[in-house]
Chain A
């Protein structure tokens, strides 16, 4: 069974803290994504990676960075958490298959609260 695993389902952090969200996939996918999900706004793309050590900014990269040192792992980093980063964070992965099938495989999400 395909699996995208996010390390923490629920986190509570304080303003200014550095936060790491980890995501691991076991499907040998080339592409990995970080989205945030907010009510009324749907999913917005933060960062995207199509290969190890490669990354591209999405629509809302400000305040975030990412790391992809291994193919199966994609980390989202909040250098200095702020209250407006309280959200549900979703990791996803997909094949780079040249047909743009669009099927993303999602983790269960990490709900971050910044106090």
Chain B
């Protein structure tokens, strides 16, 4: 079945450092790919998405490119801030028509120090 594997955390960085969180997927067909973020004490919210190969999703300085050849969707940010401290989840849509269920990775906890 469809699944995602993301790098284990926790990840601790200093402000203005470069952040990469790796995500690879296994899927039949052509799933859409997503990154969700969970800030402390809050629910998850969509950070960015890509719906087909070579698409780049971007939001709040974060970017991720849908790479079909490497089945990857790595999240990157060039200069992190303390406010980026959160848990990040990679997710993919299941490919059955009309099926809007998502499969999520285990989550990566990121802590940014001032």
| CB–CB B101/A106 < 8 A | no
On whether the beta carbons of A106 and B104 are closer than 8 Å, the reply is: no
Chain A residue with Cβ nearest B90: A42
| Residues 41-74 of chain A, each 1 if its beta carbon lies under 8 Å from chain B, else 0 | 1111100101000000010000000000000000
Known: A43-B104, A94-B100. Is A102-B44 also a contact (CB below 8 A)?
Answer: no
Chain A residues within 8 Å of chain B by Cβ, number: 29
| Residue-wise interface mask of B (70-101) relative to A, using a CB-CB cutoff of 8 A (1 in contact, 0 not) | 00000000000000000001010100001111
B101, A48: Cβ atoms closer than 8 Å: yes
Contact A90 B100 (CB under 8 A): no
Within 8 A of B (CB), among A91-113: 92, 94, 96, 98, 100-109
* With contact pairs A43-B89, A48-B101 given, residues A102 and B43 touching in the complex (Cβ less than 8 Å): no
> Which residues from chain A sit less than 8 Å from chain B, CB to CB?
4, 31, 33, 35, 37, 40-45, 48, 50, 58, 90, 92, 94, 96, 98, 100-109
Could you write out 16 A-B pairs with CB less than 8 Å apart? A4-B43, A42-B104, A42-B106, A43-B44, A43-B89, A48-B101, A92-B43, A101-B32, A101-B49, A102-B34, A102-B93, A102-B100, A104-B36, A104-B102, A106-B43, A108-B43
